[in-house]
Structures are given as C-alpha cells and as structure tokens.
Amino acid sequence: MNFKDKKIIITGATGGIGHSLVKKFCDSGGKILATGTKTEKLEKLKNEFSSIEIEQFKLNEHENIEKFIETAVNRLGGLDILVNNAGITLDNLSIRLTEENWKKVLDLNLTSTFLMCKFAIKKMLKNKSGKIVNITSIVGHTGNLGQANYSASKAGIVAFSKSLAIEYAKKNININCVSPGFIKTEMTDKINDEIKKMLISKIPSGDLGNGEDVSNCVAFLASDMANYINGETIHVNGGMYMA
C-alpha cells in the first residue's frame, strides 16, 4: 500500500497501537501529524520517525478541536486520512461507577472522535475525497465486566460512523471502523496473569494480537483498495468475537 504524499492525522499516537500506526504509514510514504497528550512521548516518537509532525493536544478540550484540525491541515498542507485512535479507560462496576467517570470516558472516546470527524470532513469536502478510520473495541460489541462507560463509548463510535458514512458516501469520503480485541500494549501489560490466561483461553488463535495486526487493517481501509468499503467495522481479535 502506497501512501506517498498522503496527508494523515493520527490521534493517540504515543500508545502501543498508535506507534504501530505511525510506523505503518511512515513506511508507506505518508506525511503524518501525530498527536497525543504527553510531550515527552511525542518527542520520543519524533526522534524515531524524523519525518513526522507532532502536536500535543488534549482531545477533551472540545472547544479547541476545530482549531486543532485547522492547525494540523496547515502544517500538513492538506488532509487525506484521519485515524481516530485515542481513548481512555476508567473502569469500575456500574454500581460504583461515578457519573463523573462515565462522562470523562464518553467525552473523550465518543464526543471527541465525533468532533474530529466533523471538522475533518469539512476539509475533505473541499478535496472531494477522504478516508476516516475510527478505532473502536471488541467490548463495544460484547460488553465487559467493569467497562460500562468504555463499552458504551466504543459502541457509539460504530453507530455514528455508519451514519456519517451514509451522509458523505456521495462526496467520496469513506468512514469505517477497526475493532481490536485484546492487543499487546501497555494497557494489557497491566492485566494480571490469571485474568490474561482466562482471556487467552477465549481466543481461538491462542494469543493476544499486536499493534501491527491493527495497523495493517487500518492501512487497508485508508487505501484505495478499500474504496468500495464504507460504514463497516472490521474485527481484529483472533476469532474471540465473530460478528
């Protein structure tokens, strides 16, 4: 897949999946602006991939998202592809889950992703083309113990992505989702061995996935090979959930 001269924004770029996304698009010739909340991690990413642009930004600052898209587009010289990968978890059993932590997860995972799409689409309409790939999660389809807020946010991404896909299909803008299962990241590294063993027992492939499994799928959906795929969710989970 060739992304030479394609202008790409990647959110959540400093995490495990984010790093794989940056590498995949860099290796394929893309012109990337990577964003995250931690300057130190962004600088480390820049040192590894010298060709990328970086921008520290807090996606929960909704009032600044339009300005962020404007800045990113100016720095890149346009916008062809948006990958919404950023997300947080604040887990707890529903009876103990505070309204504040419900709202924090929905605000960042769901509302921020919607607003990023909204303002990116405005730019893509001028180009008369564009690709958006939103990263959701297996738990948005299955639910998960202690993750009512996270599951709701990821399910919401799938639903609004379908609506946007219908709205802008005739404008040559494709919006799709990738739904990872349990992937080897800093987040899954924190899971204790007993729970990890239980999770792996439910995966037919018998192992956790890696970031490249996800980035390969994202790159496909962002490429010209997926021009006739729209409003879809591709699951990357080793067979743990089969839609």
Q: Are 61 and 40 a contacting pair, CB within 8 Å? A: no
Task: Break the chain into its structural domains and give their ranges.
Answer: 7-236
pTM: 0.96
Question: For 29-166, where are the E strands, in sequence order?
Answer: 31-36, 53-56, 81-84, 130-135
According to the model, what pLDDT value does residue 152 have? 98
Q: How far apart are CA 236 and CA 115, in angstroms?
A: 25
Q: Are 83 and 8 a contacting pair, CB within 8 Å? A: yes
Residues classed as catalytic: 150
According to the model, what pLDDT value does residue 157 have? 98
According to the model, what pLDDT value does residue 189 have? 77
Query: Which option is the CATH number for 7-236: 3.10.580.10, 3.40.50.720, 3.40.50.2300, 3.40.50.300?
Result: 3.40.50.720
Residues of the chain with pLDDT under 70: none
Mode of pairing for the β-strands spanning 130-135 and 173-180: parallel
Place of tokens 């947080």: 88
Neighbouring residues of 38: CB distance < 8 A, sequence distance ≥ 6: 14, 56
β-bridge partners, 130: 173
CA 82, 184, 13 angle in degrees (round to 5)? Answer: 30
According to the model, what pLDDT value does residue 186 have? 76
Question: For the chain, where are the E strands, in sequence order?
Answer: 7-10, 31-36, 53-56, 81-84, 130-135, 173-180, 233-236
Q: How far apart are CA 241 and CA 229, in angstroms?
A: 21
Q: How far apart are CA 67 and CA 71, in angstroms?
A: 6
